[in-house]
Amino acid sequence: MMVKKVGILTAGSDCPGLNATIRAFGKAARSTYGMTLIGFKDGFRGLIDDRTVDLGGDALSNILTTGGTVLGTSRDVPHQIVVNGEKIDKTKDAVAVYKKNKLDALVCIGSGETQEVAKRLTQEGLNLLTIPKSANNDVPFTDITIGFDTAMDTATEAIDRLHSTANSNHRIIIVEIMGRDVGWLTLGAGLASGADVILIPEIPYNIGKISQAILERKQAGKMFSIIAVAEGANSSELVAFFERSAKINRKVHNGETQEVSQERMDELKKKYTGQTLMLANRLEETTGIESRITILGYLLRGGAPSARDRVLATHLGTRAADLVAEEKFGVMVAYQHGDTVCVPLEDVVGNEKPVPLDHPWIIGARHVGAVFGD
């Protein structure tokens, strides 16, 4: 089979560098290999609904430096499309649209959920290849994801700016940064900006130890403290509660023992994880120092991609075009040790990428005095 027509989509949350990736893949596919390229709007939802956009002509011009994605995106996945309040499996619809458009391959740019969907569609017989993007850098088997470098730069700049107001008003400034499951973004930005306290999901924190560190700074004449906290960071108390609940994982109802569903456990974790306001209140009570919160949120997903993200997007995007031409499917194009590698989707799906506790960034942060609350 010679690949002649290829589709491309961006799925999941947006991040800087998506347009640079679309451009890199598209230009290489068209110019180097003579392929026809079409885009699907708004992620897998556009694939299901057959909403296409022609990516020929000048469609790929002037998008290298722009944020967001010209294709649009969504978090919809084919096997769980919500219709009238119910989740319906529309995988067959996605397969039908792929065949209707006479595609030889489909390239999906996305994070964890995208890898899972790509694996499912590969099992349906489609030729798929993925490119990892994530402002959180949480996709396994790749050293870095598209969008992470820009998000880290933005978070670092925000913390830099907050230093002066924290110092002027003698306050504790808590900066909440994206990262529900992993702390790469908070760790990197905290280290780069010289945050006094860095709290990440991988290291449960103790309020008392954080308070002690802040009071010691005050005694040394440092009248302010900057805390970089990942939205998914948890206190050691809360982690212990979840661990006990997981071990028990049972309840008694009308005299009968029943299993507590994993879905219910996940709901509880989502509800109680990342209570930044509670953290601020407790620190204010224990230290007597006024506390303020800044939540960066979606700010970290916007704006033009950094030079490094543009280079990474071009590297992975053009390599993806090579692999499509070579008819190598069912893989994610990853970046490892300065070069690209192919990782089978079945290896990616179901795995996580937490920050190792002996990672050089953590070791370096501890050496310069950053407190992790452990």
The CATH number covering residue 186 comes to 3.40.50.460
Distance (Å, whole) CA 164 – CA 278: 24
Most distant pair of Cα atoms in the chain: their distance: 72
Supply the pLDDT for residue 336.
96
Q: Is 201 contained in some domain?
A: yes
Q: Do 125 and 23 share a domain, yes or no?
A: yes
Q: Which residue has the tokens 């907050």?
A: 162
State pTM to two decimals.
Answer: 0.90
* Same domain as 226, residue 86: no
Q: 60-74, 201-215, 260-274: which has the minimum mean pLDDT?
A: 260-274
Residue 84: the pLDDT is 84
What pLDDT was estimated at residue 235?
85
Q: By CB neighbour count within 10 A (0-12 exposed, 13-18 middle, 19+ buried), where does 297 fall?
A: exposed
Q: Is residue 135 part of a domain?
A: yes
Residues 179 and 225 in one domain: yes
Which pLDDT does position 252 carry in this prediction? 45
Residues 230 and 362 in one domain: yes
**Same domain? 123 vs 162:** no
Does any domain span residue 361? yes
Q: How many Å is the Cα radius of gyration of the chain?
A: 23
Show the tokens assigned to 327. 């008819």
Measured N-to-C along each axis, helices 112-123 and 91-100 cross at an angle, to the nearest 10 degrees, of 70
Whether 249 has a pLDDT exceeding 60, the answer reads no
For residues 114-137, give the mean pLDDT: 97
State which residues form the domain around 214.
151-234+273-301+357-367
Task: State the pLDDT confidence band at 29, using cuts at 50, 70 and 90.
Answer: very high
Q: Is the pLDDT of residue 270 over 80?
A: no
Residues shown for the chain? 374
User: Residue 250: pLDDT band by 50, 70, 90 thresholds?
Assistant: low
Tokens of 153: 């730069």
Distances (CA, A) of 201 to 84, 180, 229, 270, 350: 36, 7, 9, 13, 18
Do 169 and 76 lie in a common domain?
no
Q: Name the domain count of the chain.
A: 2
Judge if 96 and 124 occupy the same domain. yes
One domain, residues 317 and 288: no
Assign 157 a pLDDT band (cuts: 50, 70, 90). very high
Residues 95 and 168 in one domain: no
Cα-based distances in Å from 113 to 10, 123, 162, 264, 349: 12, 16, 34, 20, 8
Query: What's the CATH number where 314 sits?
Result: 3.40.50.450
Paired with 257 in beta bridges are 252
On the CB side of 101, CA atoms within 13 Å amount to: 29
* Pair (127, 192) in one structural domain: no
Same domain, yes or no, for 186 and 230?
Answer: yes
Residues 6+ apart with CB under 8 A from 277: 293
69 and 91 housed in the same domain: yes
